[in-house]
Amino acid sequence: MRLHLQLFYLFLISLSATICKAHEIRPGFLQIQQQSSTTYSVLWKVPRTTDKVLNVQPEFDAAFTLKETSTPKLLEAFMLYVYQLDGKKSLANTSLRINNLSTTRIDVLVDIRFLNGEHHTFLLQPTNNTVIIPESQNSWQVVKTYTILGVEHILLGFDHLLFVLALLIITVGFSKLLKTITAFTIAHSITLSFSVLGIASLPGPPVEAAIALSIVFLAVEILKVQQNKPTITSEKPWLVAFCFGLLHGFGFAGALESIGLPQSEVPLALAMFNIGVELGQIAFVTVALLIMHFSKNIIPQNKYTKKIVPYFIGSLAAFWLIERIAGF
């Protein structure tokens, strides 16, 4: 039993170090806009970390020439390049490839608009970095692309996952848990939609800091419950989940806006991104509940071991809070 406990401590320490060092790398974004029968404007947003820009580039058919038209701009999480693409034929039925994508862990969202109104959206990935650009528009591609983006965003959003994990720990009973997760889902869907549609918005950095603070709050609430102290979260977890869910929705919106939306398919892309987030959340909740169930037979349940997880959650969230406030 002591060996299991030591391994569990080692796992938490390793996980903490990994998450603290990890910064979310958002997808690259390639926008191609047809200007005439032979020219296209190309906007290329390359993800970057604090110390380097990822070495990935778009490669077009040999019949096209790509030339830079302005000085690259350094953005918060991207390097922005602007090009002009010239060719003697249409891009339709030609190949597009993202070089070196297979050496990274990022995706690239491709948005192509033709003068005839045709619009295409693709998601290129390290294992599938080439696409043949079709002639006609396909809404299924938007469905597939933004569903995948939604799933990836929630599963790589460690702060959102820790918040959901804290809700699972503090909520007792299946019906209450179902109500709590549903309230969180409805709330962040509301603010995500409002923000993307321009109805309401909040600045990104304060929202990210407040999300970290919401996780600290839940960690403290868990510790109070373990001391048999009644709290608003233990009595009405759905209410707390809904209130903080509104805040988390603005966080989702910030990520979606940085990725970009197809202007002709905004409602569809927004709906599918939201569905992707929910699918990822359901998958996480299922796995977390299974781990919580089976860990009871591995880790000794006493007042000391029960505090490990809330202290882990609270400490990590406090680190994020300080880091995000310092970045204002």
Residue 237 predicted with pLDDT over 90:
yes
Predicted local distance difference test score (pLDDT) of residue 47: 83
pLDDT in tens, 28-83: 899 999 999 889 999 999 988 667 788 899 999 999 999 999 999 988 778 999 99
Q: Percent of the chain beyond pLDDT 70? A: 90
Predicted local distance difference test score (pLDDT) of residue 301: 67
pLDDT in tens, 250-284: 988 888 887 777 777 888 889 999 999 999 999 99
Query: For the residues 102-125, what does the mean pLDDT come to?
Result: 89
pLDDT in tens, 162-194: 999 999 999 988 889 999 999 999 999 999 999
Confidence of residue 299 (pLDDT cuts 50, 70, 90): low
Predicted local distance difference test score (pLDDT) of residue 7: 45
* Domain spans in the chain, listed from the N-terminal domain onward: 28-137, 153-326
Predicted local distance difference test score (pLDDT) of residue 210: 94
Nearest to 113 by CA among 191, 35, 13, 1: 35
**What's the sign of the alpha-carbon dihedral 218, 224, 225, 229?**
negative
Quick one: three-class SS letters along the chain?
CHHHHHHHHHHHHHHHHHHHHCCCCCCEEEEEEECCCCEEEEEEEEEECCCCECCCEEECCCCEEEEECCCCEECCCEEEEEEEEEECCCCCCCEEEEECHHHCCCCEEEEEECCCCCEEEEEEECCECEEECCCCCCHHHHHHHHHHHHHHHHHHCHHHHHHHHHHHHHCCCHHHHHHHHHHHHHHHHHHHHHHHCCCCCCCHHHHHHHHHHHHHHHHHHHHHHHCCCCCHHHHCHHHHHHHHHHHHHHHHHHHHHHHCCCHHHHHHHHHHHHHHHHHHHHHHHHHHHHHHHHHCCCCCCCCCHHHHHHHHHHHHHHHHHHHHHHCC
Predicted local distance difference test score (pLDDT) of residue 5: 46
Number of neighbours of residue 146 by Cβ within 10 angstroms: 27
Predicted local distance difference test score (pLDDT) of residue 262: 77
Task: Give residue 117's region: left, alpha or beta (phi > 0; psi -120 to 50).
Answer: left
Nearest to 278 by CA among 183, 192, 195, 185: 185
CA–CA distance, 322 with 328 (Å, rounded to integer): 10
Predicted local distance difference test score (pLDDT) of residue 140: 85
Confidence of residue 23 (pLDDT cuts 50, 70, 90): very low
Nearest to 210 by CA among 166, 157, 248, 158: 248
Predicted local distance difference test score (pLDDT) of residue 285: 92
Residue 135 predicted with pLDDT over 90:
no
Q: pTM for the whole thing? A: 0.80
Mean pLDDT of the chain: 86
Higher local confidence (pLDDT), 112 or 298: 112
Predicted local distance difference test score (pLDDT) of residue 291: 84
Predicted local distance difference test score (pLDDT) of residue 2: 45
CA–CA distance, 209 with 255 (Å, rounded to integer): 15
Predicted local distance difference test score (pLDDT) of residue 16: 53
CA–CA distance, 257 with 266 (Å, rounded to integer): 11
